[in-house]
Structure 1
């Protein structure tokens, strides 16, 4: 019975395969047939993946190389353009500087020419100023001489009218002089001379100086610096420097006159006199205007 069951199965299997071509089976097929499960044929998976990876890497490398070539081309083009631009700018700058240098040189030469002309004009002006100074000095001398001649002429006309100087007056040349016997301060002496028709004496020559100091006594004369210290003026408003005669006392070992001594009068010495209390009537002294002295008038 058991044998019948076995042969029956064999017949069933043979009938299932009837009409199919049979080939020698591989061990795997035998196993599948034996086990009843199908086994798929496999290819090695790592061979296909490696090929794909290599192709992708080669593509990326080609792409990178193309990008690098493009970048190098752009950089080279920019470098060429930049170099040409810088070259043009340098050439333009050099040309501009050359033009400016030429203009500056021309301007410097023009300025030097103008400076030489200014120097020449300045030197001419200096010589002209020196000539003017000399002319001014000659004018001052002539003015003094004119004033002297005018005074002489006026005195002559007055003498022709009056014939004589008058009582108490002395003649010297064309002028008349009054020597006081009383003493007054300088201001009162000036006013007294005006009342007598004259003024305090104005000394314009050494001969006149010798005449007025013949008495050997100190007298007030018509010279003062009451308005401006150090600027001595005659009573007719003529500066001392214009008369041409200056006879201040000179001392070898002490200050010369006028010395504006303030020991006796804090306001100083602002009026002039012939000599001082010690004599020396051949020279002039500055003295306190408050002092009482004799005085000399002239007309």
Structure 2
């Protein structure tokens, strides 16, 4: 019996397959597989945790983005409103600044001695009486013109500065019945007296009456028994532009030559017109100019009827000997090269320099 037991133990030792404890290569392989499975499982868990975490962060970022977009939209709307308010404030500021500049300018601007100020302009009632043409010549020599009435307030104001009939800057000399102011504007606001205008004997010039209502009447322009009212814009710092000279008006000698029409167009483009000579003093002043130049006098409308570019007829003259001679349709006038600056009529297409004139 003991022999059988010993033989069994010996056989078990000789045959490893009969052992109940497997510690060989197969057991190690199984352990390796198990480790790999555990490792992959851990990696899967970590990846899952990562995905979940990133997903949560993604949705949080989406919500934050939507919130920021909403805030941005709100801010943009507020910015648009603020921009509109800013632009409105700028516009109001600009308008207020302009009004302030006008007020300051009005405060600084004063009228010359003897003139009366009303709103933005200065007015002068003449001390003497004369014709409408002489009245206008006097006003222009003073840097103004016969008054242009363009408001009821101005009409009322004029009644405070004159007690007699006085010429105003209204006439229908160009076309009968078509009344125009001296600045070229047509008549729109009128204060004619009853039955006026009646054009009794080519009465082409208007005046303010002294009938208590300060209405208007028409009269013969050469009537010399009326005072007149001049009007101009106040300017305490009268200065001519660079290149111009001052003597009641601003004068500019052109730097080139051209026809009479070219000369006038150049002056108009400069805010002026060809020279109108309306006093002996102005004629004497021009003697300082050594060139032969165009002036604003012509008879293109009717031969022999000389008129200035401002519409006034010729009264003061300085023609040279035997002039005007109309030699070959000579309808335009220039100043000669002599010391007296005598006038000469020439063909309007001749080429000369010219003198522009304007009130500063």
Tell me the TM-score normalised to structure 2 length: 0.38
Question: Which protein has greater RCO, CA pairs closer than 8 Å, 6+ apart?
Answer: 1
Greater Rg over alpha carbons, structure: 1
Of Structure 1 and Structure 2, the greater strand share is in 2
Tell me the TM-score normalised to structure 1 length: 0.45
